[in-house]
Amino acid sequence: MEIALIRVDDRYVHGQVTAAWVRVANANVIWVVNDAVAKNPVIKQLQISLAPPGTTVEVYTVDEAIKKIQEEQGKSDGKRVLILVANCVDALKLVEGGAKIDSINLGQMAWRQGRVQIAKTASVSKEDVEAIKKLIERGIKVWYQQLPDFPTKPQDVVKLLRDKKLW
């Protein structure tokens, strides 16, 4: 199993993921990694049912995903996994648990009370900012791009955070 991409997208499996990011990542498996989704049988089944043709969707808690990463990463089984998480904190937990990646894509992180909007579709909490700092300290590039061609070039999240005086 190879991790093709970790994307922070609080909508999980939806049109942009199924039409664009699966193709760009050349993924054949999507993991939705979120404790609440994994523990809700209705939402879990909905996510599984949204799998694009030729792709399977698997739903895990963060701890289950870490265990699978530790057991399966590096096996030459042909699996290319696109991992979807709702926030940077969970992305950091996966990396700390052994996920071997070079970068993380921020996509959709909806605005809520206590968050700061740093890009068109990305708002971060204080916890997200701290997780991003720790990811970058590990040498992982964190970039924002809503769609593979929009904005036309990925944006450096450090610059976006600095522009908002969050770094």
Domain ranges of the chain: 2-163
State phi, psi for 72 to the nearest 5 degrees: -115, -20
- 3-state SS assignment for residue 105: strand
Q: Which residues pair with 29 in a beta bridge?
A: 56, 81
Q: What is the pLDDT along the chain (167 residues), one digit of tens a residue?
A: 999 999 999 999 998 888 899 999 999 999 999 999 999 999 999 999 999 999 999 999 999 999 999 999 999 999 999 999 999 999 999 999 999 999 999 999 999 999 999 999 999 999 999 999 999 999 999 999 999 988 889 999 999 999 999 99
CATH label, 2-163, candidates 3.40.35.10, 3.10.129.10, 3.40.50.920, 2.20.28.10: 3.40.35.10
Distance separating alpha carbons of residues 134 and 89, to the nearest angstrom? 10
Distance separating alpha carbons of residues 25 and 4, to the nearest angstrom? 6
Q: Shortest CA distance to 106 belongs to which of 97, 117, 114, 93?
A: 117
Neighbours of 153 (CB within 10 A): 9
pLDDT number for residue 44: 98
Q: Which residues pair with 155 in a beta bridge?
A: 144
Torsion angle, alpha carbons of 108, 38, 136, 132, to 10: 50
Catalytic positions, please?
14
